[in-house]
Amino acid sequence: MRGDTLWDISGKFLQHAWCWPQVWGLNREEIRNPHLIYPGQIVYFDRAAGRLRLGTPTAGNGGAAQVVRLSPQVRTEGLGKDAVPSIPSNAIEPFLSQPLIVTEDELKTAPRIMATENNRVILGKNDKAFVRGDLQSGTSFQVFRPATPIRDPGGKDIIGHEAAYLGTIKLERAATSPDEAHVFRVVSVKQEMGIGDRLLPVPPTPILNYVPHAPEREVDARIASVYGGVSQAGQNQIVTINRGTADGVDLGTVLDLYRFGATVADPTEKTGFFSGKKMVKLPDSKYGSLFIFRAFAKISYGLVMQVTDSVQIGDIAKSPQ
């Protein structure tokens, strides 16, 4: 039905919803499109094999399995308009073409808005903006506010700079001399845009080709920030972790979310007559999962999935057990 996802369907029958590529018999190195099922198709759960599949049910109680003879044919694949998605992609699509993480100096040297028509403080759609800087032959740009540092929750070192995405603008007339400004027209606005904001070229449209999978090597990360500058996140919200491609995290990586277990006094045991109660750490508690949809060298962005508690900065995100 409308709104179903492969994640949800697998979650009704399997212990880990993110495992649907494995139980569906898919190979993420070979698969080109994870959106493989369409409304009207029947999904069978083979309890003996522990596998979901499309098609007709296998024969039970010793009956002969149905044999289907195949002949050469043209293999076609839908454009995906009506396909059942692997995850609720509408929650992450706005972030897929935005740089988000930039180097400390990247925006300092980028073209900048230096004036507005009629001295407007805030630019809106179709307003004119005057820009200085090297456009490097570009005509379409995204606008960003100077980057905010993201600190590692563990060591407090700066691991990246997150630029706030403000919208898009398009070149109307390029400067004809070094001391003249370029003329731009605002195409779209997501946040307030004005003098001092920086321009980066619009990147190519990304191809949505992701299959949820466990990381290839052990990952032990921490929640570094919640997108939007708040301290907590809920289901289908965006967070960052302090691990990236350098640590084996890539597009489609799934991690489990844990809260640190508290250290409490054990009232049933004493270490000595004068030493007081023994302190014991409680186990970390799992409360959800995180789907990574964009990865940089040291930072990754993830969509919060199926949580029973709010996600907080400093929480654990690690390889599924």
Domain-wise residue ranges, the chain: 1-57+80-86, 98-201, 220-318
Instruction: Give mean pLDDT, residues 27-56.
Output: 64
Instruction: Between 105 and 232, name the one with better pLDDT.
Output: 232
Instruction: Give mean pLDDT, residues 247-256.
Output: 92
φ and ψ of 19, to 5 deg? -80, 5
Note the pLDDT of residue 68. Answer: 47
Contacts of 99 (CB under 8 A, 6+ apart): 142, 144, 163, 200, 203
Note the pLDDT of residue 266. Answer: 86
* Percentage of residues in the chain having pLDDT higher than 70: 70
Note the pLDDT of residue 70. Answer: 45
Q: What fold characterizes domain 220-318?
A: Thrombin, subunit H (2.40.10)
pTM of the predicted protein model: 0.73
Note the pLDDT of residue 61. Answer: 46
Among left, alpha and beta (phi > 0; psi -120 to 50; other), residue 228 is: left
Note the pLDDT of residue 74. Answer: 41
Beta strands in 152-284 (DSSP E): 158-173, 182-189, 198-201, 220-226, 232-233, 238-241, 254-259, 263-272, 276-281
Contact 157, 151 (CB under 8 A): yes
Exposed, middle or buried, 2 (CB in 10 Å: 0-12/13-18/19+)? exposed
Q: What is the mean pLDDT of the chain?
A: 81
Note the pLDDT of residue 152. Answer: 92
Bridge pairing between strands 276-281 and 263-272 = antiparallel
